[in-house]
Amino acid sequence: MSEKVLSRFEYDAFEQRFKAQYFNSLVGPKNVCLVGTSDAEHRTNLAIFNSLVHVGSNPPLLGIIFRPDSVERHTYENILSTKKYTVNLVSEPDIAAAHQTAARYPKDQSEFGATGLMAQYIDGFHAPMVSSSPISFGLVFRENIPIGLNGTNMIIGEVQWFKFPEEIIDADGFADLTQASVVGCIGLDAYTKLSIIQRFEYAKPDKPPRIKS
């Protein structure tokens, strides 16, 4: 392959949609999830995100980047209003329906109904999860961090419950998402299968890398 060095000047000259696709894909594979919300009138909403961030494990915190609210952001608005939402990992059979949730449906039309994905509820929790998602989290809103550099916001939530297949959890707590057909994404529209190349023991400065048995 021939190597390319691109200047920031050349990058800034790209057309807007090309630029978004270019940078989104060039930074590498990311996880992909569906965020489920419901407003005060119980109108449901479902939206796909590729910006899920593990913030910490104790307490269990997840962050999601939201684009500038220059237009209606139903998911963002519902989270700030009700303080409850779900994060649902996407499995291979659901990629087409999950991708379709990126379409700009009006607030009174649920993406659940529009895409054929089914809403499911945990008793006492306001927001719906995706019933076919192999792994779902129920979160309560904790913090909204405005990012002044580009007008985006990071919403941080604390996990209140977890839904997953028990069989994917190893003795050391490792969750093998490959067993649940969870997918990742490259860029804005390419979905990838997960595969494990190798697991290693905890790294220590006085020992070489050790393959986990």
Question: Where do the structural domains in the chain lie, given as residue ranges?
Answer: 27-192
**Bridge partners for 156 per DSSP:** 63, 143
pLDDT at position 73: 83
The helix (run of H) or strand (run of E) holding residue 78 is helix 74-82
Q: Give the per-residue pLDDT at 213.
A: 80
> Which residues are within 8 A (CB) of 152 and not within 5 positions of it... i.e. 6 or more apart?
65, 66, 67, 68, 146
Quote the strand ranges of 9-59, DSSP E.
30-31, 33-38, 44-49, 53-57
Q: Is the peptide bond before 205 cis (omega within 30 degrees of 0)?
A: no
Confidence at residue 143, expressed as pLDDT on a 0 to 100 scale: 97
9-35 burial, b for 16+ CB within 10 Å, e for fewer? Answer: eeeeeeeeeeeebeebbeeebbbbbbb
Q: Where are the beta strands (DSSP E) in 72-175?
A: 84-89, 119-120, 129-130, 136-147, 152-163
* Confidence (pLDDT) at 78: 95
pTM for this prediction: 0.93
Point out the residues of the chain with pLDDT beneath 50. Answer: none
Q: What confidence score (pLDDT) does residue 68 get?
A: 83
Q: What is the pLDDT of residue 69?
A: 67
Domain at 27-192, CATH class:
mainly beta
